[in-house]
Chain A
Amino acid sequence: MIEMRDVGFGYHGGAELLSNMTLSLQPGMFHFLTGPSGSGKTTLLRLCYADLLPTTGQMTAFGDDVGQLSRDAIADLRLRVGVVHQDTQFLDHLPVAENVALPLTVSGQPVDMEALRDLLGWVGLSQHARAMPPSLSGGERQRAALARAVIMSPDLVLADEPTGNLDWDMSMRLMQLLIELNKSGKTVLVATHDLNLIRATKAQVAARVLRIAGGTLHLAGADL
């Protein structure tokens, strides 16, 4: 799925923020990526959907060398990787339902309205289908972003601090959706610095926890 071998990355050709990263995302596995703020969690996720390219090392996504992908191939990769961005990233001139269906629209696929309604119901936003994104609360925005991330039925779902601005109940509600996704066979990678959230989730699903410290990636163990 996503394979990194000795990958390093530094912004604007500067010192490496991440170095010697070796990672293999296991299909169907729930992964957490943790580490202190500024450690490079978001950067690692951006590498996963080719928003950034490694400056050193080798990285493949679904078997393809990410550094050799054309712009169209990158777009196709992003249709296979659903991403819940930290700042959600909506088109504010479109209602929630159209934002959620956007990956289908831009890839030229028809929108199955019944399936869209089901998806909005799954994330608890049936009543907000016609609402405009700026009118949504933080939790609603995150759930809408999750719905958009999974509408293409991607092989991999990445979530970057999805609970960063949410209270505990709303955070657990969102994590429940991600656990459901994982149980349906999707590979999930959630970046978070919230250890309590990781512990609570691990109580419900087998999860692999990766920790970034000192610019490198470690498999976290019982010290979590």
Chain B
Amino acid sequence: MKGRDFRALNLGALWQGLMRDGGAGNRIVPPTGFTAQLTLFSAGAMAFLAVFALALALATGRLAERWSSELAGSVTVRVSAPMDEQAAATQATMQVLATTPGAGQPRLLPSDEVADLLVPWFGPDMPVDALPVPSLIELPVAGEDFDAEGLRLRLQAEAPGAVLDDHTEWRRPLVTAANRLRVLGIVSLLLIGAASASMITLAAKAALAANGQVIRVLRLIGARDITIATAFVRRFTKRAAIGATVGTLCGMAGIAMLPGMSAAGGFLTGLGFQGWGWLLPLLIPVIAAAVGFFATRWAALTMLGAVR
């Protein structure tokens, strides 16, 4: 009989109890002092961490998508030949590439773009034209039927000295790492949620245990389970929501104060929210309130089961 009654506990009534001013109904449970501070602090700290975990998950997600799209977007062909044969070898390679299935229009990188690529190694003043620098051809990948391995074999046969670099070798591990970081971020969010639920449950159980006599008296004078549970649920849900709101705002402020995104900073300066992404952390207090609501409800119902 008891179990059936508990499961039938009216969530709608609980929610109404949360939304309206508790009034005298809220006073039937004595102030819980230490557990109140504990819940506020823990919810705030967890929300603060959740903001960073969310930012990490979003940033690594963006990074993985960018790298993946770049990985699939184009390949580069490097043509190395003696200086006097360079132009002919490049022309031959361009012809091969132009007839490659699934590939777009090949583009020979002009010498200034090649020079820009070499700046990090040789500095800005190096006379690149005087060096036997290979020609670089960018080839967009336009279709599913693009076969990198087939193209590599064709180049070996028809344009010796041309080497296909499809970036896969060095970028694939980075994409994998970025994806795993995103998973870690999501797992961290889940762990933070679970830890918050555990913490609120423990605090609620402590408060309920400390108020065992109050609960007993309330039952004896005719209080329904919903009435008693609501008094505790309202209190802990509000604490979780308020603590999480403060923690979330602090976390968002911390993220906002990080240096802006720049090419030099790479991934680290990309850690943050972009555009509508800034609204996502605002869900954290709502989720914290929901966690507080259900964790306290579960603890209250379990406790009430021991009181007739």
Contacts and interface: CB of A to CB of B under 8 A. Distances in A.
A and B from one complex: yes
B28 A102 contact: yes
Nearest to B219: A75
Contacts of A61: none
B220 A70 contact: no
Contact of A91 (B4, B25, B217): B217
B220 A51 contact: yes
Contacts of A74: 308
Contact of B25 (A72, A77, A79, A106): A106
Interface residues of A, number: 32
A75 B5 contact: no
Interface in B212-229: 214, 216-227
Given A91-B28, A94-B27, A76 B222 contact: yes
B73 interface: no
A71 to B, nearest CB: 4
Given A51-B220, A51-B308, A89-B220, A72 B225 contact: yes
Contacts of B216: 89
A107 B222 contact: yes
Given A71-B5, A111-B24, A91 B30 contact: yes
Given A89-B217, A91-B214, A105 B28 contact: yes
**Most chain A beta-carbon neighbours within 10 Å: one of B30, B218, B223, B224:** B224
Nearest to B23: A105
Contact of B220 (A83, A105, A108, A111): A83
A127 B130 CA distance: 106
Interface string B191-228: 00000000000000000000000101111111111110
B237 to A, nearest CB: 20
B30 A93 contact: yes
B220 A71 contact: no
B220 A85 contact: yes
B221 A90 contact: no
Contacts of B28: 91, 94, 102, 105-106
Nearest to A92: B30
A85 B224 CA distance: 19
Interface string B1-44: 11011000000000000000000110110110000000000000
A91 B31 CA distance: 12
B27 A75 contact: no
A78 interface: yes
A98 interface: yes
A172 to B, nearest CB: 26
Given A71-B225, A107-B223, 7 more contacts: A51-B308, A93-B27, A102-B221, A103-B222, A106-B28, A106-B221, A108-B227
Interface of B: 1-2, 4-5, 24-25, 27-28, 30-31, 214, 216-227, 308
Interface of A: 49-52, 70-72, 74-79, 83, 85, 89-94, 98, 101-103, 105-108, 111, 148, 152
13 contacts: A51-B220, A70-B1, A70-B4, A71-B225, A72-B224, A78-B219, A78-B220, A79-B221, A83-B221, A91-B218, A93-B27, A106-B25, A106-B227
